Structure 1
């Protein structure tokens, strides 16, 4: 079984953690700015909903791949509380540091959306909402499956030391699965897979309808993928986190 490291408050003052938080903030801000900005652009310029969905999916695929690559060596390039939780379940980041990351991601997303609203002359930052006829349970299941797919890809292409011939392609492949999942789930649950990506637009627009779906689904999906991959597919070769308090 993977060890879940608790960590402690001393981590908040460590130079490497501070650098990681700065990098995570910048990468998450740029990701949300481009992703939400693309959604706002399609709403303003594109009349065809299929073309708009494709543009949003491609924009997210590209910016996710680039921002993961940009942050990988400093913060890990999580961009997403579900990714952070999924890696915490596998023992790759402490619980305390995970909390710092999630707060960081939410602040970055909020700032990106506030700035987008200002720069576009007050346009609404489109929040994630369920499609007409979709119930909350259906939305949660959609988000569980989509986020499971995302975290399974992260583990298989970035975390797993046995990635072999795809070594170095992890961020690009992760971007691909994000784009594919938006194409699949966008018309139904919104294809969020990311509580921070959903939080910023909801905060700025003031639309919180079914917002809990975009926390429950991704957290379950990400945590489940991290648990399964770490315990059934990865050889236990990674160095345990240097913390004093652990739970099993």
Structure 2
């Protein structure tokens, strides 16, 4: 189990965005510590920025102190930019997460990822309650991250350490067009190419056989064949429209004469 803890958040949009960041990585437990607005979980901006993660907001809890938020957690990670004179060790997220994920199931931690307020970060007292401080590697000249961005980065790294999710590529219709369908396309294209005066039917030379070979090498799918059919239809439609315009113009000229 993993718990995301947000301390004294001041912007409702960040709460909603954090909920969305959690959900896309498969996490659901959100606890807010003394947020600026007591009704932040149901504010319009919060719900809008959650964008489909309203269930995370519905289950979220609001507590008064970090001590309450960490109840039941066995390992807490602070996110703090400012170095402390003493306190928990500072770790790079991926390295620490790899260590935590490698632990045997019977000794696996109930992990808490703790984020400070947008304006002040985390207090020393809150950092000292944690077992480690996570430092997200950033450009040395500018390391300030938006709260929701930090939640997304750590949620992603932790999910990857846990094994991640399989990538399911969305592919087009894989069916290949058969030979008769390709020949039908060639006849359609021939008609369109003649209509736009690209192909001379009296002297076609080798254009159509070359197109035939091109389509064979490409191994057109059914969807791709339909696209080419659509192009041919558009060419014929445009050619007919231009022919109609030309005929109308000629007719008008005769009338004037």
- TM-score between the two structures when normalised by the length of structure 2: 0.23
Structure of higher CA gyration radius? 2
TM-score (norm 1): 0.24
Compare the two structures and name the one with the higher helix fraction.
Answer: 1
Higher strand share: 2
